């Protein structure tokens, strides 16, 4: 019976570590979902590179604090 309680407690702790908290950033529309074990950023922010205006768009994924995926790229504005 005691082993069952311990395994249930460990399961609940692991589950709590997987529940994300959403945060809207004030950079033009980026959203961050972060939990203890991972972080996902859906990037959409205003940017300027080499004198051209545009925005950064893409996804960043970190697992255990290490970045494992990043496809964020600069997209210039149309007409500039």
Shortest CA distance to 37 belongs to which of 63, 66, 76, 13?
63
C-alpha dist (Å) from residue 19 to 7, 35, 43: 19, 6, 20
What's the pLDDT score for residue 80?
Answer: 57
Residue 5 belongs to a domain:
no
Inside any domain, residue 12: no
pLDDT tens figures, 21-59: 999 998 878 999 999 999 999 999 988 888 889 999 999
What is the number of structural domains in the chain?
A: 1
pTM listed for this prediction: 0.79
Does 3 reside within a domain?
no
Give the three-class secondary structure for 72: coil
- Is 15 within the bounds of a domain? no
* CA neighbor of 40 nearest in space, from 11, 71, 2, 9: 71
Is the residue at 13 inside a domain?
Answer: no
In a domain, 65, yes or no: yes
> Going by C-beta distance under 8 Å and a sequence separation of 6 or more, which residues neighbour residue 28?
44, 45, 46, 55
């Amino acid at each position: 019976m005691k082993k069952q309680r311990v395994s249930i407690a460990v399961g609940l702790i692991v589950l709590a570590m997987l529940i994300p908290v959403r945060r809207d950033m004030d950079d033009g529309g980026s959203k961050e979902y972060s939990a203890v074990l991972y972080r996902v950023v859906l990037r959409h922010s205003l940017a300027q590179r080499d004198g051209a205006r545009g925005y950064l768009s893409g996804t960043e994924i970190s697992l255990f604090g290490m970045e494992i995926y990043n496809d964020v790229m600069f997209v210039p504005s149309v007409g500039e």
